[in-house]
Amino acid sequence: MAKKGTKYIDLPYTVKGMDVSFSGILSYIEDAAHKLLSTGQCMPEDLCFSLQETVFAMLVEITERAMAHCGSQEVLIVGGVGCNLRLQEMMGVMCKERSARLFATDERFCIDNGAMIAQAGWEMFRSGHVTELSDSWITQRYRTDEVEVTWRD
C-alpha cells in the first residue's frame, strides 16, 4: 500500500542516540488518521507511505550512528522488515555516502526472528556455552543483539 502513496504527511520523528520511539507516531496516526482521510487531505496509501518513510528514516539514522560508534563499514539487514526494498534502498544510499557495504539477506532468512534466535543458540552451544534448564526462561522479547558473542575473535 505504501508503494502507491504519493503525498508525504509529516509525522512525529523521535530518535535519541541509538534509540527510537514509535509511540508518538502511533498516537498521531490514531488521532489524526480519520480527520486526514475524511477531509480528503490524504489517502490511506499516503499515510502508509508517510509512516514507512518516517520509520525507515529513523532506522537509517540510528544505523548510521551505530556504524560511526562501532567503526563499522558494513550493514546487514535481516528480520521481517529486511524484505522491504525501500528500506534496502534507503540503507543503500546511506552506505554509499559512507563508502560502506550493505548486505540484504535472501528473503528466506528475513521472515522469522525465530531462525535468528535458533542460530544464536546454535553458535552459543558450539562454542561451549550451555544454559541449564533451571536457568533458562522464555520471552518473546529475546534480543539477539544482547548475546555475549564468544564464538568469534
For the chain, domain boundaries: 2-111
The model's pLDDT over 35-93, given as tens digits with 9 standing for 90+, comes to 888 998 898 999 999 999 999 999 999 999 999 999 999 999 887 788 889 999 999 99
- Residue scoring higher pLDDT (153 or 74): 74
pLDDT given at position 49: 95
Spatial separation of the C-alpha atoms in residues 53 and 90, rounded to whole Å = 9
End-to-end CA distance of the chain: 43
Spatial separation of the C-alpha atoms in residues 124 and 146, rounded to whole Å = 13
pLDDT given at position 64: 97
| CA-to-CA dists, residue 143 to 108, 129, 130, 137, 140, angstroms | 20, 17, 17, 13, 9
pLDDT given at position 23: 86
Mean pLDDT of all residues belonging to the chain: 87
H or E segment and range at residue 74: strand 74-77
**Residues 6 or more apart in contact with residue 42 via CB below 8 angstroms:** 7, 9, 36, 50
Spatial separation of the C-alpha atoms in residues 46 and 34, rounded to whole Å = 13
In the chain, pLDDT over 70 holds for what percent of residues? 93
Instruction: Give the pLDDT band of residue 15 (cuts 50, 70, 90).
Output: very high
Q: Does domain 2-111 have CATH number 1.10.520.10?
A: no
Model confidence, pTM = 0.72
Rounded mean pLDDT of 106-112? 69
- Phi then psi for residue 138, to 5 deg, are -120, 130
Spatial separation of the C-alpha atoms in residues 108 and 124, rounded to whole Å = 22
